[in-house]
Chain A
Amino acid sequence: MTIRQRVLVLYLTTSALDSKVVGWSRYDGTGRTTPTAGDSDEPPYTTGLDALLDGWRLIQASQLLPPSPGHEYDVSFLKHEFFFEQLVDA
């Protein structure tokens, strides 16, 4: 049996894992699918928690970092990023 990793990245509207999904990316270590930029308008899950309920394993979450002094009102990258994985038989 050969195990490969599927990765799902969800961006949520707050730092809470059960808040709504506002962005998503997928990477498929099996090579069976080739997700890419702009390939769907509908998120795979409504919330981060929904991904857990569907069997995805959370492997990383964004840290909560205070803004740099003087840059409190700047906007930049999405702040609430959660990485999930599935291990699948390739």
Chain B
Amino acid sequence: MARFVAHGSLRLDGIVPPEMNEEALPFLAAGLPGIPYGTPVPEAYPADSFPRRLLQIPEVAGALRSLVGPDPLVDHHAVHIRQAKEGNAQPLHGDAIIDVRTDAFDVQLMYYPQDVTLEMGGTLSVPGSHLRRTNETDTGRYQNLLGQSRLVCPAGTVVFVHHGLWHGGRRNDSDTVRYMFKIRFNPTVRQQLLWGTSDLHTPAVREELTRGFPWYEQAAGRLEVHNRALLWRQLTGDDRFDLDHWVTRVTNRPTAVAAARTADTAGGESS
């Protein structure tokens, strides 16, 4: 979870079995009908349907449970198709509209049924961009950021992303049509301690949460860590949690009144 809070994504390589990936290609190519916003998973995807079986893969089910908890709602789903040699990329964007919740988040599942090569234009994403307050494609001017991720992955890879993560479908320069199936989930419970927490107080957690990314400006990078500390407080319920004293320092407003100075301690100072 700490890694997700820092990166804004969780990548699970090749966890969908080959037979399901083969099944997925014609299924996705045929297109899926839309569903009403906010539909419970069992209503959105009947038992034995392809999406339902995808969500029942243990690694997928476990990640979803850890991130948004039990019984999330399906916000919407979509099949994204990048045509062979289609000549353009999506502008860098965050999905939906600006979403500045600090105590809850949606996740999007992105499933890649094929091997994705660099030439096929695998999804561009920017690690650690999910807490930036920007609206949809207003980031479209940014073509490349240092340390960006250009997805290259084996078939059957699933990536979960925070709703705010900057991303975009890259230009497909290959001769192969590329498919990606996306499902957005809304939590229905408070997102607090939903994951395995046996290692909550280990150094590895702080190491993840203080991670910097190459594209961060020097000053804003410190704010990113400050804001992660606030998010971690929400996710753990620990309102004293901090990273490198960033939050504690700037919220320190003592109210205790100092004891009156005595003649011995007043020294020679005067008003």
Contacts and interface: CB of A to CB of B under 8 A. Distances in A.
A1 interface: no
| Chain B residues touching A, range | 35 or more
Contact of B227 (A13, A73, A80): A73
A35 B214 contact: no
B217 A14 contact: yes
A37 B141 CA distance: 9
| Chain A residues touching B, range | 20 to 34
Interface in A33-90: 34-41, 43, 73-80
Interface stretch (B10-18, B132-140, B178-186): B132-140
Given A23-B146, A24-B143, A25-B142, A37 B215 contact: no
Contacts of B92: 37-38
A17 interface: no
Interface string B142-153: 111110101000
A36 B132 contact: no
Residue of B92, B145, B224 with most chain A CB atoms under a 10 A cut-off: B145
Interface string A1-37: 0000000010111100001011111100000001111
A9 B141 contact: yes
Contacts of A35: 143
Given A36-B89, A37-B92, A80-B217, A75 B223 contact: yes
B253 to A, nearest CB: 15
The 4 closest A-B pairs by CB, nearest first: A38-B124, A25-B143, A38-B170, A37-B89
